[in-house]
Amino acid sequence: MAISQKAQEFLIRSRIADAERGDVDALFELGITYSTGRGGICVDLVEAHKWFNLAALSGSTRGQECRAEIALEMTAREIADAQRQARAWLGMTQQRWAA
C-alpha cells in the first residue's frame, strides 16, 4: 500500500518532534527512514548519517553501527556535511530547551 505525500510529511514531522524531545528511538528511526527510503521517502545518506550520528551521540549502539555502515558508501565530503548538519541540529534543539 502506497503512502501519500501528506502522510509521509506528517510521519517525518512527528518523528522529528519526538527527536527534539530527546527520543533516541526517533533519532534512529529517522536514520532508518532516510537510509532505506522507508515510507516512500527518498534515500538520502547524508540525512541518514546525521540522524544515526545523533542517535549514536545519545547512546544508541544501533545508531553507531548503522552510521558506520552507511559511511562506507559516502564520500568524506558527504560525511562532513552530515556532521555539520548534526551539530546544527544539536545547537538548534539546545537553544529551544534553553528558551
Looking at residue 70, its pLDDT comes to: 98
Task: Report helix, strand or coil for 6.
Answer: helix
Integer Rg of the chain from CA: 13
Q: Assign 11 a pLDDT band (cuts: 50, 70, 90).
A: confident
Q: Quick one: average pLDDT of 24-34?
A: 97
Rounded CA-CA distance 18/26 in Å is: 6
pTM reported for the whole predicted model: 0.89
Whether 58 contacts 24, CB under 8 Å: yes
Angle made by CA atoms 70, 16, 79, in degrees to the nearest 5:
25
